[in-house]
Amino acid sequence: MTQSMSRVAHCIDNDPMEGFWGILKRERYYGNRFTNKQELVQMIHNYILYYNTHRVQRGLGLLTPIEKHRLAMAA
């Protein structure tokens, strides 16, 4: 992994992760109550697995991230 070295006030580097956390909160966090930290961590872990393996995304041509990755590796 290469560290991002964008200039100040050029936050485009954060955009993909900001978008991911926004989706996670909208789909799994808001409206739920977590009684302890472990429960929250487990929800995040499970959501990341779901997001990468089962959640279809329009930006990837209606594929999951893992399907898109496999297609790219096969090419």
Q: Which residues of 10-49 are buried (b: 16+ CB within 10 A; e: fewer)?
A: eeeeeeeeeeeeeebeeebeeeeeeeeeeeeeeeeeebee
For residue 14, the model assigns a pLDDT of 75
* Residue 75 binned pLDDT confidence (cut-offs 50, 70, 90): confident
pLDDT tens for 3-57 read 666 666 666 667 788 889 999 999 999 999 999 999 999 999 999 999 988 999 8
For residue 47, the model assigns a pLDDT of 96
